[in-house]
Structure formats: C-alpha cells, structure tokens
A and B are shown apart, each in its own frame.
Chain A
Amino acid sequence: MPAPARRTPHPREKRVVFANIDREGYTPDIACYLRNGGYDDLKKAVTMAPGDIVNEVKASALRGRGGAGFPCGVKWGFIRPGETKPIYLICNADESEPGTFKDRYIIHQDPHQLIEGMIISAFALNVHLAYLYIRGEFPLGAKILEQAIAEAKANGFLGKNILGTGFDLEIHVHRGAGAYICGEETGLIESLEGKRAYPRIKPPYFPAVLGLYQCPTIVNNVETLCHVKHIVRMGGAEFAKIGTPNNTGTRIVGVSGDVVRPGYFEIEVGSLTLGELINDLCGGVKPGRQLKAIIPGGSSAKVFRADERFKIKVKGADGALVEKEIGVLDIPMDFDTMAACGSMAGSGGVIVMDDSRDMVETLNNLNQFYAHESCGQCTPCREGALWMRKITDRMLAGGGVESDPATLTSVSNNIAGKTICAFGEACSWPTMSFVAKFPEEFAARATKPVPPPTPPEFLSQTLTGGNH
C-alpha cells in the first residue's frame, strides 16, 4: 500500500526529464531544486532573445509528448509576429489516456522542473498569464504545484519583473473534474472557460490562432514543457542529436499489464525496440505465459498481435530506401516506424496482454471507457461508442450474434474521421483493430443466428402509413 519503493533507472535508460525522479533524498521543494542547478536554465533563457528560444525549439525538432507527436516548434511558430492580442500558455496536465503514467511523477516529485519549463516557454512566446490544467484526480499534485508556484514567486522567478528583466508572468493551477475529453486541447480550453469540454470545430486547427478567450494560445503537454528547459540548456542542435532524425530527444514510456516488472522508463527515442522494452526492461511476460497482444501508445493506439509481421522501408548502407520485414518485437520505440506499422507511439503508454486474456473482454473494457468519456457532441461518436460497448457487453453475456463482428467494424468505420475531434479515431481504433486482428475470438463469441428481419407489415413506415 505504501508507494512502491523508489526504483533505480535501468542501464538502457537515458534520464533527462526524469533525472530527479526516484532519486534518493530528492524533495519537491525549491531549496532542493536550487541545490541541483534549478532555474539556471531560466537565467540563461532570459538573456536570450525570445525569438531565439523559439528557434532553438524548432532546431531541436521536439515532437509533442501528449499523443499526437506534433512538432512543438512548428506549433509555437503559429503565433503571429507582432501579435497584439494577449497570448496564453496552457500546460496540459490532464494525463488520462489509459496506459499513460508519466506526468504524475514529474508533478509529484519534480514540480519545479515543469514550472521552470513553463516560465521559459512563456518568456519565449511573450505570455503573461499561463494556466496549468491538471486533472481533478490529482488533488495532491495540484497542491504541490500551487506550493511550487508560491515558492518560485517568493524567489523572484514568477510574478512581476522576473529576474530583473521587466518580464511579468502569473501561473495559476486549474483543476479538471474527471473528464477525459479535457485532454483534447480545444476541449481543455472550453473547460478552462468554465464550460462543458466540447472540443471546438476546426478550422482553425490550432488554438495558436484562436484559443482561450478567443486569443492565441499554446497548449503543451507536461513532458514537452519540461523538455524546453533542457533544450535551452543544451541547445536545439545538441538536443536533436539524441534519438533519431525526426524522432529526437528522450521520452518517457510506461509499461503496464502482463509483464513481470511494469513501470516507467525514459529512453532515447528509437534506441530500443518494443521487444527489448518488454523483455529486457520489464522482464518479459509472466512465467509460463505467452505474449498475445500489445497496445503500444495509450489505449487509443491500434493493437498489435504478437505474431504480426510488417514491411517497412529503411535506409540501406548506400542511403537508398530498402524494404525490410520485421516482427512486432522488432519495432523501434519511435514515432515514425510505429506509424508505418499501422499504430502509433501516442502517449507512450504500452499495455501488454498475455495468452490468458480474452480479447473480447479486453476490448469491452476499452469500449466502456470510451462510451463513458465521449463528450456527446457528435452523433457518430456519442451513439457509436455506446453501440460498440453494448455489442461487446452482449457478446460477453453470451448473446453474440453472427453479424456482431461485422457490425462492430462497420460502426467503428463510421465514427473515425466523422467527428469534430480525434476522440472519434481514439474510440474506434481499438474496436477496428481488435476485431480485425483477433477475428477467431470475436467469431467464437458471435455464434447465435442473426434474428430475422422485422416483417414488412410491422415496419414503422407501414404502421404509420408511410408518412414518417
């Protein structure tokens, strides 16, 4: 029941953002942070021109760590030069993608790293009011962050005339209240405006154009904002040397489910394969069990079947692209190969399932989640997510009919791409991929004959005289 013992980093890890996580004697207060070189990067940043910081972030090729993997520098570049409206910065700490557990540790153990990253980002973007949107289920995290903000203010890193530069910034913590959709940046903004978290209609595609209070707004994930601090320290070009081209830096991945040692690891992007992560870092699947399925990037990512093979294009010795066949466990932990194999690196949450798991039951758990979390704004998602849940519920209860797998596929195909926000994809990809990759399990639970169609004389059109 007490928090699991502090863990030592695995030798394959490269800890940058997580450098202070689980360190013996490291505490979340500012004194400890300052003893460890805290706020030195901010001191460096305020000597730089804001535009230069943005350029360093662009040069770093840092991709957002929240799930979409969008280049952070490009997002920042959407702010128009000479913008006259106020610009807002929002830290998205609504960590709620099932399988993802990384921001929790930064917030609880090293809050000042995040605050420093936010101050540097605000300085670079000319922001004077920033919000830290933290999910409601982190009440202690919210208190720790409020304390960190007060300490930073007392030490002159926040408030008026920061470090004598004339730059002013206030950061306020804003607690969510249990809605997954607040992780979607425009939903988050609506929520911060005191409304239901209905994602906004696109375009504009980015809140950098129209965001909080109809002003330009940058929304970044906790981990992304922490990276900004390290980019300022090492320089964008140096940061870009970590990882692989277009997949730079380190990232935190969390492994949960049926492995011997679940947990979080900060790895150089692309430096190890899914197989190495599961077998070497996490000790493999439990004794006597076989690997069955992996969800590689948070519950919304399409599932991989353990025996799947993929044909991907890799650079040969002469630099030309050659086709190569790889298995699931050979997929490097990066953004691009994961996408080329038909899933996504997403939020870095890897969920492993062994051969003791029933795939219909597993999908049903996710369908319950998505049916519960759909905001209800778009019909395909509101009705479809619930419909898929009802079907898998019925299949588990023994009432699966022969047409159920096809209906599941058809419903999911009619959600993705037909909604205002990416929740449509998020809720349909699990169903689409589970049914496609484990057809035998779904067929085995869908054996009852399809009920005969309603006789024509009882159709509603007939009964109402065809007027409706």
Chain B
Amino acid sequence: MQIPPELTAQIDEAISHYPVSKRSASLPLLHLFQENFGYISEEAIDWIAEKLELQPIHILELVTFYPMFRRKPPGKHHIRVCKTLSCALAGAEELKTKLCAATGIACDGHGGCHGDPVSVSADGRFSIESVECLASCGSGPVLMVNDDFFEAVTDAEIPTLLSQYK
C-alpha cells in the first residue's frame, strides 16, 4: 500500500486536531483512507492502528460499527439511496428498483443489510446501497452519488442523472 504524499499531509493535519488524544483521529483517518482507496483494507487497518499507537482491533471495531465504512471496493461511482420513512413514503423503494435496473445491478429487494450492503454492477461503474435517513425528508426521495446530493428524484431523471457519471 502506497501512501501518496498529499495523503500523508492530510493525515498529519487530521491528527493535529486532537492534541489530547491521537485515538480521536481514528474516524478522520478511516475517512481519508476510504476516500483515497475506496474501501478499508486489512492493510489500512494495520497502518492506521500503528500510526495512532493502537491495536488493529481498535480500528477494526470501528469499521464494523460505523455503517459508512466498507471493507470491499464499491463501484467507480457509489450510489446511496435513502430508505427511511419520509423517503419511503415518497417512493424510495421504487426508485431504488429502477436504479438497479438502469445500472444492471441485481436488486435484492430488501436494500442490503449492515455488513455487506453494497452491490456492484458487472462493469464496475456503479454500486448501490440502501442507507438510513439522509436528513432531507421534505424533498424525498433523495440519493447521493459519491459526495453529490440529489433531491426529489423522479424515475424520468434517472438516465440523465447516471449519464453524468462515466
């Protein structure tokens, strides 16, 4: 695992935010690794633990606890569809089914579960995950593609939406 110099600088900056306890930098470092490598590998867990003078289990237990961290690579573009009540009332389940069809991802109908929630398309271009409330309940159904946020998404908009992500 190669750590690019920019990442090293970001890691050091993140650690400096926690003068009392380096352990506090665990989540920020996990975010940085996931942004750079797409997921959290075993190697990453060991590296972060060593950097923060912790045991690997202290990092692993975070990866298994916090739903945003993935242990497998997602698609090139990762789609998160909100499935909680307000979005569900606005048709989130149907939206997800349509998105699965449009991206060629097998839809399990249940929205995945904690542990292995990410389904990747055969060409690796997209992955889909059902997530709990994204806090935009007044404009459902909402979804995120990578870090971009989309509100009140209709079926008709799906092709245009996906075409922005090559």
Could you list which residues of chain A lie within 8 angstroms of chain B, going by C-beta atoms? Answer: 1, 3-4, 95-101, 103-104, 129, 135-140, 172, 174-180, 191-197, 213, 254-258, 262-264, 295, 299, 349, 351, 353, 357, 362, 365-366, 368-369, 372-373, 375
Contacts and interface: CB of A to CB of B under 8 A. Distances in A.
Nearest to A3: B151
A373 B132 contact: yes
Given A1-B161, A177-B68, A194 B135 contact: no
Interface in B96-151: 113-114, 131-140, 144, 147, 149-151
B28 A174 contact: yes
Closest A-B pairs by Cβ, 9 of them: A177-B66, A178-B68, A194-B23, A194-B26, A256-B137, A256-B86, A178-B67, A177-B68, A172-B17
A348 to B, nearest CB: 11
10 contacts: A1-B151, A1-B157, A101-B138, A137-B131, A177-B67, A178-B66, A178-B69, A196-B65, A262-B137, A369-B84
B79 interface: no
Given A174-B17, A262-B139, 10 more contacts: A1-B150, A1-B153, A4-B151, A100-B135, A137-B135, A177-B31, A179-B65, A257-B86, A351-B89, A369-B85
Nearest to A193: B24
Nearest to A362: B85
B138 A353 contact: no
B89 A96 contact: no
A366 B157 CA distance: 28
B27 interface: yes
Interface in B1-46: 17-21, 23-28, 30-31
B140 A256 contact: yes
Contacts of B133: 96-98, 180, 369
Q: Which residue of B68, B90, B157 has the most chain A CB atoms within 10 A of its CB atom?
A: B68
A353 B89 contact: yes
Contact of B132 (A140, A172, A180): A180
Contacts of A191: 27
Contacts of A104: 135-136
A351 B135 contact: no
A192 B131 CA distance: 22
Contacts of A264: 138
A99 B132 CA distance: 11
A4 B152 contact: yes
Contacts of B157: 1
B131 A193 contact: no
A194 B24 contact: yes
A351 B62 contact: no
A366 B27 CA distance: 27
Contacts of B66: 136, 176-179, 197
A193 B65 contact: no
B138 A136 contact: no
A194 B151 contact: no
A138 B144 CA distance: 10
Contacts of A365: 83-85, 88
A103 B89 contact: no
A432 B116 CA distance: 31
A193 B28 CA distance: 11
Contacts of B136: 101, 104
B137 A136 contact: no
Nearest to A295: B85
A258 B89 contact: yes
Contacts of A213: 20-21
